[in-house]
A and B are shown apart, each in its own frame.
Chain A
Amino acid sequence: MAHSTERYEPKNPALKWFNDRLPLISYGKEHFVDFPTPKNLNYFWTFGMILAMCLGIQIVTGIILAMHYTPNVDLAFNSVEHIRRDVNFGRIIQGTHAVGASMFFFAVYVHIFRGLFYGSYKAPREVLWMLGVIIFILMIATAFMGYVLPWGQMSFWGATVITNIFSAIPIVGTPILEWLRGGFAVDNATLNRFFSLHYLLPFVIAAVVILHIWALHIPGNGNPTGVEVKDGRDTVPFTPYATIKDLVGAVVFLIPFAWFVFFAPEIFNHSDNYIMANNLVTPAHIVPEWYLLPFYTMLRAIDFNVLFIDSKLAGVIVMGGSLLVLFFLPWLDTSKVRSGSFRPMFKIFYWVFVVNFIVLMYLGAQDPSVVVYNYLAKVATAYYFLYFLVILPIVSRIETPKPLPASISEAVLAKAH
């Protein structure tokens, strides 16, 4: 949107000299202080800032952990224990990093589902949304590789199962698998490259986050009404209004975060990961971390051949597709109305989708040989795809949305009286 304000120039001559050569100060003022922000944002909009904080926490704690960690199959397990036992505040730093991964995913799910409800993926924010999907996929890869590093049983077998996915690709599958693992099985070479990539990817994420914020600052924030900003009466400056609200959200978010770090640091972990990796003993159930369970369920749900595609490859296609379909969402939901609040039919299917996602998550941790679970997993997987590919396109066409407010300020006034 057009900014009516003049470009900010610092008064101090030294700062002005610097700013004329590299306008960081003008830029910061424009984007982090003056930036017009809709005044009707609710607390779900604070999760963007919370996620930036999560990334920061993971990077800072991760850098410290890397100073004490040893990526070697014989030493990795005990080096993590060394951090917990002997490094000053090591238990807290390691706990923050491990719990932090879960909190990061919790926040990203809230952020994504907020976007799904309020139509944040719709024009003109398609690229913003797609960058978000890229960040999410990078997060999954980073978290998965991070979980391998303590080299416990779940680390090792998780790595084995997940890398094995690539062997489903016809013809080139096995060579790709061996190339990824750096050998015929998950071993020292795998651990080393996962450590290297686990250190690299967060910075790639940070770079995409910058693009994500850039793409956000072109059209500006969406808002709960889904009505675009019309004029200055609809917005407030980012600082102090949005900053303080984001800070409230961030500090409140840190309370359950600290609760888990200090009182239940193992609650998201699996006890088998306190057994050192052993390639001769397979755990009874290999389960990924909770945040990957929905996708794991979809992978396992396809236990039948689809025409000429065997079940394993079909499962991989479905799991990959569950993420890739998100890229097409802006063109699948063609409704002109952004916000779910004004879409009576959409709302129902949306909430079913939320519950369905929780069911998928639950099923990922259950034994798939139980008939009920197996059947439910197929139904839930089907609904996941139907929602995007069938329900949204049809609902967009047949639904009669509720009347939209003329502007954000009108909606705000209507609410107040």
Chain B
Amino acid sequence: MIKTKTILAALALCGLFATPAAASETGGVPTKFINWSFGGVFGTYDKNQLQRGFQIFKEVCSSCHSANLLAFRNLSEPGGPGYSEAQVKALAATFTVADPEAEDGERPGIAADRWPATMSPADAKASFGVEPPDFSVLAKARSATKPGFSWVLDYFTVYQEGGPDFIYNLLTNFTDAPHGVEVAAGQYYNAYTGGVLAMAPPLSDGLVTYDDNTVPETVEQYSKDVAAFMMWVAEPHLDARKELGFKVIIILAGFAVLMYLTKRKLWSKIEH
């Protein structure tokens, strides 16, 4: 009885404040929310999408952005892009990694190595004025604001994709600056944040050639794929975590029913 009252009161409050909270924080265009394969309780990563996203990361993003916590071996681990161990070994071997114990301080990469940064932070800073953020947990370091009070529903729909939504919207919203907005040299206007970035529009239609020619080679598709890949880099055990979650919740629910029936039986002889 008390619980229902509390919930009703909370909901009434939500209605009360709904309007002011709806105002966008960034001042840019409203967020377009994507229906991610890994969204929701049942969502898992799409292997093919992760492979495409990895391709974009490797061919485009990684020339400036590091991913210090991503190890080559992660690429063949379950719940990821699903490359074979042989593929990963071969890929790692194409990289040269710094190793103080090796001759000349360098050696070919092995599966256990972390992804080597192409650009040193100092060089990047010299070129762009800012250090391009590391990709390791970037997808979890960004979020998209839901309009109004719909965030209340996120606790039930388990919306955890604010990061990829942010990345997708950022990548698809490089536009010409509106009148009156000064954009300095080396700066690029982004309609999503409503401000300027030191990053030039990194993607363009046809920039990356996919093996699968049924997938459109557009900025829109690239943005989705790379955002999904970045989410996987930030949260590599998502699939396993959710799978275990089902088992745990089913067991708990069953256990709760048994406990309740036991309780009812025990208390049946007592007036209470």
Partner of A267, one of B69, B155, B252, B262: B155
Assess whether A271 is in contact with B242, with CB atoms less than 8 Å apart: no
Q: How far is the CB of B125 from chain A (nearest CB, A)?
A: 13
User: B17 in the interface, Cβ–Cβ < 8 Å?
Assistant: yes
User: B143 in the interface, Cβ–Cβ < 8 Å?
Assistant: yes
Q: How far is the CA of A261 from the CA of B249 in the complex (A)?
A: 11
Assess whether B141 is in contact with A85, with CB atoms less than 8 Å apart: no
User: B154 in the interface, Cβ–Cβ < 8 Å?
Assistant: yes
Given A44-B2, A91-B241, A351-B5, A85:B236 Cβ within 8 A: yes
Q: How many A-B residue pairs have CB under 8 A?
A: 117
Assess whether B266 is in contact with A248, with CB atoms less than 8 Å apart: no
Assess whether B253 is in contact with A255, with CB atoms less than 8 Å apart: yes
Q: Provide the residues of chain B in CB contact with A236, threshold 8 Å.
A: 270, 272
Partner of A271, one of B17, B142, B271: B142
User: A74 in the interface, Cβ–Cβ < 8 Å?
Assistant: no
The stretch among A50-58, A155-163, A314-322, A355-363 that forms the contact with chain B is A355-363
Smallest CB gap from A261: residue in B: B245
User: A370 in the interface, Cβ–Cβ < 8 Å?
Assistant: yes
Assess whether B137 is in contact with A274, with CB atoms less than 8 Å apart: yes
* Interface membership of chain B positions 1-13, coded 1 if the CB is closer than 8 angstroms to chain A and 0 otherwise: 0100110011001
Q: Provide the residues of chain B in CB contact with A413, threshold 8 Å.
A: 271
Q: How far is the CA of A92 from the CA of B238 in the complex (A)?
A: 10
Q: Provide the residues of chain A in CB contact with B58, threshold 8 Å.
A: none
Q: Provide the residues of chain A in CB contact with B256, threshold 8 Å.
A: 248, 251-252, 255
Assess whether A248 is in contact with B13, with CB atoms less than 8 Å apart: no
Partner of A245, one of B9, B252, B263: B263
Assess whether A358 is in contact with B10, with CB atoms less than 8 Å apart: yes
User: A272 in the interface, Cβ–Cβ < 8 Å?
Assistant: yes
Interface size class of A (residues with CB under 8 A): 35 or more
Smallest CB gap from A273: residue in B: B141
Q: Provide the residues of chain A in CB contact with B13, threshold 8 Å.
A: 355, 358-359, 362
Assess whether A241 is in contact with B249, with CB atoms less than 8 Å apart: no
The stretch among B90-98, B157-165, B170-178, B198-206 that forms the contact with chain A is B157-165
Q: How far is the CA of A241 from the CA of B270 in the complex (A)?
A: 10
Q: Provide the residues of chain A in CB contact with B271, threshold 8 Å.
A: 39, 409, 412-413, 416
User: B34 in the interface, Cβ–Cβ < 8 Å?
Assistant: no
CB interface residues, A 215-265, toward B, < 8 Å: 236, 240-241, 244-245, 247-248, 251-252, 254-255, 258-265
Assess whether B141 is in contact with A255, with CB atoms less than 8 Å apart: no
Assess whether B6 is in contact with A354, with CB atoms less than 8 Å apart: yes
User: B255 in the interface, Cβ–Cβ < 8 Å?
Assistant: yes
User: A72 in the interface, Cβ–Cβ < 8 Å?
Assistant: no
Q: Provide the residues of chain A in CB contact with B143, threshold 8 Å.
A: 271
User: B32 in the interface, Cβ–Cβ < 8 Å?
Assistant: no
Q: Provide the residues of chain B in CB contact with A370, threshold 8 Å.
A: 20
Smallest CB gap from A250: residue in B: B259
Assess whether B154 is in contact with A267, with CB atoms less than 8 Å apart: yes
User: A40 in the interface, Cβ–Cβ < 8 Å?
Assistant: yes
Assess whether B9 is in contact with A39, with CB atoms less than 8 Å apart: no
Smallest CB gap from B253: residue in A: A255
Q: Provide the residues of chain B in CB contact with A274, threshold 8 Å.
A: 137-138, 140-141, 234
Smallest CB gap from B139: residue in A: A274
User: A81 in the interface, Cβ–Cβ < 8 Å?
Assistant: yes
CB interface residues, B 213-246, toward A, < 8 Å: 234, 236-237, 241-242, 244-246
Most buried by B among A39, A95, A240, A262: A262
Q: How far is the CA of A274 from the CA of B143 in the complex (A)?
A: 11
Q: How far is the CA of A266 from the CA of B2 in the complex (A)?
A: 29
Q: Provide the residues of chain B in CB contact with A81, threshold 8 Å.
A: 69, 136-137
Smallest CB gap from B151: residue in A: A267
Given A248-B260, A370-B20, A262:B140 Cβ within 8 A: no
Which residues of B line the A interface, CB within 8 A?
2, 5-6, 9-10, 13, 17, 20-21, 41, 69, 133, 136-138, 140-143, 154-155, 158-160, 162-163, 234, 236-237, 241-242, 244-246, 248-249, 252-253, 255-256, 259-260, 262-263, 266-267, 270-272
> Can you pick out 6 interface pairs between chain A and chain B where the beta carbons lie within 8 Å of each other?
A92-B241, A251-B255, A262-B242, A263-B242, A275-B141, A412-B272
Given contact pairs A39-B271, A78-B69, A264-B154, enumerate 6 new A-B contacts (beta carbons under 8 Å).
A91-B241, A248-B259, A251-B259, A261-B245, A262-B245, A351-B5
A-B CB proximity, top 6 nearest: A262-B245, A274-B141, A271-B143, A264-B158, A263-B158, A274-B140
